[in-house]
Amino acid sequence: MEEKQQEEIDLDKVYDYADYREKVSGRCDNCNSAYFKSSVKSGIFLRECRECGMKKSI
């Protein structure tokens, strides 16, 4: 039985929520924090983790 290796998260990249859904709802995939800052620009909702800086377009 092969174990699935955990992907390394690039904090400079903006991940698309449709492709990278959360492992735990409302928590950052990288550091498991629940604290985010959100912004909207050009019709795109961007959520950034306040702890590690991982970004995801929702």
* pLDDT value of residue 38: 95
> C-alpha angle 40/21/23, rounded to 5°?
125
> Long-range pairs for 10-16 at CB < 8 Å and ≥24 separation?
11/52, 11/53, 11/54, 11/55, 13/55, 14/46, 14/55, 14/56, 14/57, 15/54, 15/55, 15/56, 15/57, 16/56, 16/57
Domain ranges of the chain: 11-20+33-58
Closest CA to 48 of 13, 19, 21: 13
Q: What is the pLDDT along the chain (58 residues), one digit of tens a residue?
A: 444 445 688 899 999 998 988 888 899 999 999 999 999 988 999 999 999 999 999 8
